[in-house]
Copies of this chain bind each other. A is one copy, B any other.
Amino acid sequence: MRVGNLPGIRRLPIYLNLLRAMREDGIEHASAAALADLAGLVASVVRKDLEMTGASGTTGRGFCVAALIADIESFLGWDNPNDAFLVGAGNLGAALLGHRDLRSHGVNFVAAFDTDPAKVGLTIHGVEVLPVEKMVSLGQRMHVRMGIICAPDESAQAAADLLVDSGITRIWSFAPTILKVPKGVTVQREDLSAGLAELLVKSMGFGT
């Protein structure tokens, strides 16, 4: 069992992006204070978040950029490519297939699936759209472990059932439906409305 805090885990990609940009600029060391400044956070929060990953800095010099990138990537499992299926090749699906960040975070799209005959056969950002009937055999043969659901709400549960039958144990869903999955399958539900709720309440003067 790993130990960590959820808001901190969600912030790790921010640090990773900043550190990768530093590495490109030839910067070799970075302090928690410098990262905090760039991320708009306080240094103590950054320090605590980075501690989760097992990274350790040196007094005075801060963290070694290359080592910290490796520690964060390893903590998140982004150092291993995650073969993934995508279900629902509409606008949102296409946006995810072409999302630079997902690819740089180890997501490797093996295939996309759609029930719409007009979409089957298309190649979107280099990924072929196949009929859903092919999912289970392909997933089992290729040992795909991650599935991303961009299907409409009413077909999200059917998509999840097919993904589970394909052997997938990690489902990332962009449909509002609360999915029912067997034990051992992890679901992350991405609710766009949640971000909208947060924005509006914060802008009305939200305080804790």
If A105-B196, A172-B195, A192-B190 touch, whether A2 touches B204 (CB-CB below 8 Å) is: yes
Q: Do A6 and B198 touch (CB < 8 A)?
A: yes
Choose among B17, B92, B198, B205 the residue that contacts A91 (Cβ–Cβ < 8 A).
B92
Give the B-binding residues of A (Cβ under 8 A). 1-6, 9-14, 16-17, 38-40, 75-78, 82, 90-92, 94-96, 98-102, 105, 107, 146, 153, 169-170, 172, 176, 178, 186, 188, 190-208
Copies in the complex: 2
Choose among B5, B176, B191, B205 the residue that contacts A1 (Cβ–Cβ < 8 A).
B205
Q: Which B residues are CB-close (under 8 A) to A82? A: 200
Q: How far is the CA of A90 from the CA of B92 in the complex (A)?
A: 10
Q: Do B193 and A102 touch (CB < 8 A)?
A: yes
Q: Do A200 and B77 touch (CB < 8 A)?
A: yes
Q: How far is the CA of A90 from the CA of B99 in the complex (A)?
A: 11
Q: Do A169 and B203 touch (CB < 8 A)?
A: yes
Q: Do A77 and B172 touch (CB < 8 A)?
A: no
Q: Could you tell me the distance in whole angstroms from the C-beta of A101 to the nearest C-beta in chain B?
A: 5
